[in-house]
Chains A and B, each alone.
Chain A
């Protein structure tokens, strides 16, 4: 089955449930974090604790071993899956446990511990309701927090009615829950061993925190006399006080709850007496807890190597909240069965799977990350998830040994040592394509638009034939500007308009509009020739090529910064390069200098108006109704509001979409493999622009990809907001 077919099948079967549930979690997150007095400071605190803990990990594990053993438990540090399972089988074997009850733990999924124990004849029963449903269905989790998110209530009812041959068919969520509680309650009381994960473990006291809502973990621990807790080594934090920011952030970031029902703080073995529910003589206080045992199994399985890997290290800060899944436009469409590896799913899964399973496993789903960066603000420990995805994509490319493709090598002067696939090299070297496209326009556009060309591109380059390619303009923006002298006397500011690839070759009109608006507001504008930002190669995982672009961009803009010019950028994904990704590509001083002097065009106009420039000289909105879609990376930079403010200031009535990403995301939506996912994500945008209040509004969008996507989704032709400000 082709990748496109597989994705389509998953979307058909699971897409609706995944979509509804993830969006509901995501909305809940926005509402819940808005209640926090200082959300940003809390995230910073959480991040700092994790950075420190991973830095000091060996020392913290030693300390934890002392405290756990001082409390009367055992700590076993397992090298890998086989080592962990061998130890757990020994412990469970010694108990001659028939039944093991288990609460939800992704780390236990990493071990496939249920299968390992089954080989010895032990039955492991999942007691988390979602995990139990999946155990009955023999399916894998599709989400790290809500494992059965892909199943509707109707599907769960059908499954349980059939499996348990119910006399009275179960129907409502209440009936299903009651049935599950009763069935699992019996299994819990007869069990000998309770198995749990651990969300955090404090080294100073040996206390582990379990973040839950159902109460099954509490029951599984209380009802059994042997407790086996399984956790990755990265879960260790220095002290119990360090739990505070995580307790406040984890529920909000994941499912949008201020806090989950139960945060168990366990310093095992627990003092709860062990009981037999048939005992009708002995009062609880007369029972004892003498036979309680506790085994903490800490698992390395690649994590210590990740700790030494500058690009993957941040993955270890992950608290498995699922914010990066829920906020992701593509995950919302396909869920974790497509956007995931052996165990983990969502944006951060690339880091986990690369570290735990290997680059190849991560490479199988990693292209579903478009680098839109909406997860960056959502992550409670501020992990640069898009960067991890980029680096892993680069490693996948480098690992591809194949014949050097003479055609693309000739066309593409990139710096890639390995052999990125043909399609990636084409999109990664889009600057060369655009230059050729403009030079040969309109012939190039006419050729690209023919059925034969489209079929060829689909077959050899994986570019979907249903997409219209960008239409290259014969005269680029920089060429248009060559013979143009600025006529501004006593300019208010002096600026460079950065000729991003799309504005220069495709969206020339927004470039001209930007120049006119800036000049109207008293700004002296120059448009030099400058290299493209490197966004295109970076998005294909061609990091060295992107670095070469970054260096050349910095070199070409530096003299202008030197003479006191501001750098104004129209394409938000390029501004995001300067502000975010260049941190990884340039030395810090160069990056900071460029980032500090760079502004998004509407942010810049906003600043001019705030500082006394006269809006009356611009086109008057006169109450015109506008529907605006900001750009994913622009929103991550916190720059959506400036466009809205400027348009409102100029008299427009502005409505704003709230979809996380348009689904086009650079080259993503052009690829045959992902066309359907891209269109499904875009469908949300289409719906929002067809509401009663929006269907007749003028459509504006900031990003090139968003404009292309909206153009294919709507009858109305979208433009960049700057174009509304010129007559």
Chain B
């Protein structure tokens, strides 16, 4: 665990990941502000929040291939590291968060754990019976293999997080 307890927003900011904390009714606005067109998404599975009309929910593979932004829910986040946990789903969450240049994660404020120890306790409880596979994603994809650090290797070069506060 890092020495200073940091808020999720502080950690995200240090990774150059913009985030917004909004009420459920403002999720559509926040996603619209973060998304660059064309944007696609998987269902958020929330009764009280929706996605903006400009976002294609449940896209075809071609729509995904042409998209700039992908919006997916996150299962939880780790404040110390600014990591978001992206479950692998039959709806194709893994594809939508990966085959785009900008990923927007939508997260419930109640689902923020402070440190990695809490995160792995949660994985221990949930990984088998809830999602099976998940990615602990921290900032954009990156590589230093081409002689200098480049953001956006095979995956997104930008990440945004919408934190939903009930």
Question: A-side interface residues toward B, CB under 8 Å?
Answer: 35-38, 71, 127-130, 133, 146-148, 151-154, 156-157, 172-174, 176-177, 180-181, 184-185, 205, 207, 213-216, 218-219, 222, 239-241, 243-244, 247-248, 255, 258-268, 270-273, 275-285, 287-289
Contact of B128 among A147, A263, A267 (CB under 8 A): A267
- Which of A36, A173, A240 meets B124, CB within 8 Å? A240
B61 in complex: contacting residue of A38, A184, A214, A275, CB < 8 Å: A275
Residue from B1, B63, B95, B142 in contact with A214 in the complex, judged by beta carbons closer than 8 Å:
B142
Q: Chain B nearest CB: distance from A48 CB in Å?
A: 15
Some 17 contacts from A to B, beta carbons below 8 A apart, are A36-B3, A38-B1, A127-B154, A154-B147, A180-B146, A214-B154, A215-B155, A216-B154, A247-B136, A265-B123, A267-B127, A270-B94, A272-B92, A284-B64, A284-B96, A287-B92, A289-B90
Distance, CA A247 to CA B60, complexed state (A) = 35
Report how far A172 CA is from B99 CA in the complex, Å.
Answer: 23
Asked whether, in the complex, the Cβ of A277 is within 8 Å of the Cβ of B61, the reply is yes
Chain A, residue nearest B85 (CB)? A265
Shortest CB distance B26–A (Å): 26
Decide if A174 touches B155 in the complex (CB within 8 Å): no
Instruction: Give chain B nearest CB distance to A38 CB in angstroms.
Output: 8
CB distance from A680 to the nearest CB of B (A): 22
Residues of B within 8 A of A241 (CB): 120-121, 123-124
Which A residues are in CB contact (< 8 Å) with B63?
280
In-complex Cβ contact of B60 among A243, A258, A267, A283 (8 A)? A283
Q: Which 6 A-B pairs have the closest CB atoms?
A: A153-B147, A215-B155, A284-B92, A214-B153, A130-B145, A280-B62
Give Cα distance in the complex from A156 to B150, angstroms. 15
Q: Which residue of A lies closest to B118 (CB)?
A: A244
* Count of interface residues, chain B, beta-carbon cutoff 8 Å: 60
In the assembled complex, which residues on chain B have CB atoms less than 8 Å from the CB atom of A287? 61, 92
> Is A276 a contact of B61 with CB atoms below 8 Å?
yes
- B156–chain A nearest beta-carbon distance, Å: 8
Known contacts A37-B1, A205-B127; is-contact A216 B153 (Cβ 8 Å) = yes
The docked-state distance in angstroms from the alpha carbon of A267 to that of B140 is: 23
Determine how close the nearest CB of chain B comes to the CB of A337; give it in whole angstroms. 17
Q: Knowing that A244-B117, A263-B135, A285-B91 are A-B contacts, what are 14 other residue pairs whose CB atoms are under 8 Å apart, sorted by A's residue number?
A: A35-B2, A148-B145, A153-B148, A207-B127, A214-B141, A215-B98, A216-B153, A219-B154, A259-B83, A262-B138, A270-B133, A271-B131, A277-B62, A280-B60
A275 to B145, alpha carbons, bound, how many Å?
Answer: 29
CB of A216 to closest CB in B, whole Å: 4
Cβ contact within 8 Å between B148 and A270: no
> Is B145 a contact partner of A184 (Cβ separation < 8 A)?
no
Cα–Cα distance between A152 and B3 once the two chains are bound (Å): 36
Closest-CB distance, A306 to chain B (whole angstroms): 28
B147 touches A156 (CB 8 A): yes
CB of A273 within 8 A of CB of B90, answer yes
* B23 to A: closest C-beta gap in Å: 28
Q: Residue among B81, B128, B154 with the most chain A CB within 10 A?
A: B154
Query: What is the interface of chain B, defined by CB distance below 8 A to chain A?
Result: 1-3, 42-43, 58-65, 81, 83, 88-96, 98-99, 116-117, 119-121, 123-124, 127-128, 131-150, 152-156
Distance of A696 Cα from B150 Cα, bound (Å):
41
Give CA–CA (A151, B145) in the complex, Å. 9
Asked whether, in the complex, the Cβ of B94 is within 8 Å of the Cβ of A146, the reply is: no
Output the least CB separation between B32 and chain A (Å): 21
A-side contacts of B91, CB under 8 Å: 284-285
Question: B117, A278: Cβ atoms under 8 Å?
Answer: no
Query: Is the Cβ of A278 less than 8 Å from the Cβ of B62?
Result: yes
Instruction: Specify which of A37, A207, A219 is in contact with B3 (CB 8 Å cutoff).
Output: A37
The answer on a CB contact under 8 Å between B146 and A277 is: no
State whether B155 touches A239 (Cβ < 8 A): no
Chain B, residue nearest A153 (CB): B147
Chain A residues with CB below 8 A from B62, complex form: 277-280
Chain B contacts of A283 at CB under 8 A? 58-60
Residue of B nearest to A208 (CB): B133
Q: Closest CB of chain B to A154's CB: distance in Å? A: 8
- Say yes or no: A177-B150 contact (C-beta < 8 A), given A35-B2, A128-B145, A267-B133: yes
A285 engages B92 (CB within 8 Å): yes
Closest to A272 in B: B94
Given contacts A265-B123, A285-B58, A287-B92, contact A173 B147 (CB under 8 A): yes
Residues of B within 8 A of A177 (CB): 143, 146, 150, 152-153
Q: Which of B3, B62, B88, B117 has the most CB of A within 10 A?
A: B88
Evaluate contact between A262 and B61: CB separation under 8 angstroms. no
A172 to B146, CA, bound (A): 8
